[in-house]
Amino acid sequence: MKRRDAIKLLLWLALGATRLANAQQARKPYRIGTLTAAWAANHPAVEGLRAGLAALGMNEGRDVVFEHRFVEGRIEELPAAAESLIAKRIDLLFTDQENATRAAAKASTKLPIVFANVGDPVASGLVRALSHPGGNVTGVSNVATEIAPKRLEMLKTLAPGLRRAWLIYDARGGNAVLRAAERIRAAAPVLGVELFDRPVRTPMELTAALAAVRAGDGLLPIEGGGTALDIGAQMLAAAARAKALTMFSSAFWLEHGAFAAYGTDHRAVGYQAARLVAKILAGSRPQDVPVEGANRIELAVNLKVAKAIGISIPQAALLRAERVIE
């Protein structure tokens, strides 16, 4: 072979190696599906996930792209929405709350699924154990079932004169919702609170339950099902009319007129879940990634609502709040 031809061959080989290396580096972005029962794609947990991945250096568009599905509270549409995401050949499915996670888990036993804001993933049958999930599902629990009785206790602390409280939730909300209700029922007599337990299935049942609320009553929704009844919004409207005290499980509701909240922030839980998502995309198996509890549980109080209701919160109780809206 002539010297000139040999040089050309070496140049072509070098060029081919460079192109191969560049092709390997220019991997297609990971495709992440998001499944929620929310009314819009920008659910706080999803926004938290996006922010968390960005903080880990995973840029949207370059490293990850999203396919969103939200069913506006129509939980019966979650299975079809999950199937449609799987058909998009996504690499991972991110879900919020129990009903969406259950629909995703039924749709696939192989695709990695990372959840946020599931109250009790073991009792719900989504994982075998927190330390060793054992299947294709893992995530971050908002520990809502565990802290459910504490919500009633915190409401009593903020309003020592509380005598009656209404526990209103969707009867189809899932195992974690039902277990949370059970724990609140057990705590009420100990706290000296008469509890009206009202699982509802229809808008008519919800309206009837809220019509009986009186001034000074406590109102505790149990979130987690993500259903079309929109219990949170209806409860806020009823509380404003009756001058009742609402205690939610997420500070998100304080921006919409809730009196108080004790629990996790949905966006923060999504942000925390981003680390699990990144770990799985990097090669870890979901069954080997332990379920985490939310890093932060906070008490939030809306003093504007307290003033409108005409309630004075003891200073000692107010000092326990991590977030106060004035």
Read off the pLDDT of residues 163-192 as tens digits, 9 standing for 90 and up.
999 999 988 877 888 889 999 999 999 999
Let me know whether 218 and 73 are in one domain. no
pLDDT (mean) for 29-44: 94
Residue 75 near residue 37, CB atoms below 8 Å:
yes
262 forms bridges with which residues in the sheet?
Answer: 299
3-state secondary structure the chain: CCHHHHHHHHHHHHHHHHHHHHHHHCCCCEEEEEEECCCCCCCHHHHHHHHHHHHCCCCECCCEEEEEEECCCCHHHHHHHHHHHHHCCCCEEEEEHHHHHHHHHHHCCCCCEEEEEECCCCCCCCCCCCCCCCCCEEEEECCHHHHHHHHHHHHHHHCCCCCEEEEEEECCCCHHHHHHHHHHHHHHHHHCCEEEEEEECCHHHHHHHHHCCCCCCEEEECCCCCCCCCHHHHHHHHHHHHCCEEEECCHHHHHHCCCEEEECCHHHHHHHHHHHHHHHHCCCCHHHCCCEECCCCEEEEEHHHHHHHCCCCCHHHHCCCCEEEC
Same-domain check for residues 185 and 315: yes
Q: How confident is the model at residue 257 (pLDDT cuts 50, 70, 90)?
A: very high
20-29, 127-136, 244-253, 280-289, range with the lowest pLDDT: 20-29
Q: Is the pLDDT of residue 20 over 70?
A: no
Evaluate whether residue 45 is within a structural domain.
yes
**Regarding predicted confidence, which is higher, 225 or 24?**
225
Whether the CB-CB separation of 195 and 165 falls below 8 Å is answered with yes
Which tens digit of pLDDT belongs to each residue from 83-129?
999 999 999 999 999 999 999 999 999 999 999 999 899 988 999 99
The answer to whether position 23 is within a domain reads: no
Q: Tell me: do 282 and 172 sit in the same domain.
A: no
pLDDT attached to residue 12 = 39
Residues in the chain: 326
Per-residue pLDDT at 228: 67
69, 149: one domain: no
Answer whether residue 75 is part of any domain. yes
Task: Say whether both 200 and 318 belong to one domain.
Answer: yes
Q: Are residues 307 and 245 in the same domain?
A: yes
190 and 43 belong to one structural domain: no
Q: What is the pLDDT of residues 199-248, one digit of tens each?
A: 999 999 999 999 999 999 999 998 765 566 889 999 999 999 999 999 99
Q: Indicate whether 217 and 68 sit together in one domain.
A: no
The reply to whether 7 falls in a domain is: no
Confidence at residue 25, expressed as pLDDT on a 0 to 100 scale? 52
More confident call, 287 vs 225:
287
pLDDT on residue 139: 98
Kindly report the CATH number assigned to the domain that includes residue 320: 3.40.50.2300
Residue 19 lies in a domain: no
Q: State the pLDDT at residue 24.
A: 39
Q: Hey, what amino acid is at 121?
A: P
Q: Within a domain: residue 289?
A: yes
- Residue 13: what pLDDT? 35
- Verify that 106 and 176 share a domain, yes or no: no
Report CA-CA distances (Å) from 252 to 190, 213, 272, 301: 29, 23, 17, 11
Do 283 and 235 share a structural domain?
Answer: no
Q: What local confidence, expressed as pLDDT, does residue 82 receive? A: 98
Residue 220's pLDDT is what?
96
Q: Is the pLDDT of residue 131 over 70?
A: yes
pLDDT over 60 (residue 296): yes
Torsion 72-73-76-81 (CA) sign? positive
Q: Is residue 282 one of the residues assigned to a domain?
A: yes
Tell me: do 137 and 166 sit in the same domain: no
Domain that holds residue 38: 30-143+266-293
318 plus 189 within the same structural domain: yes
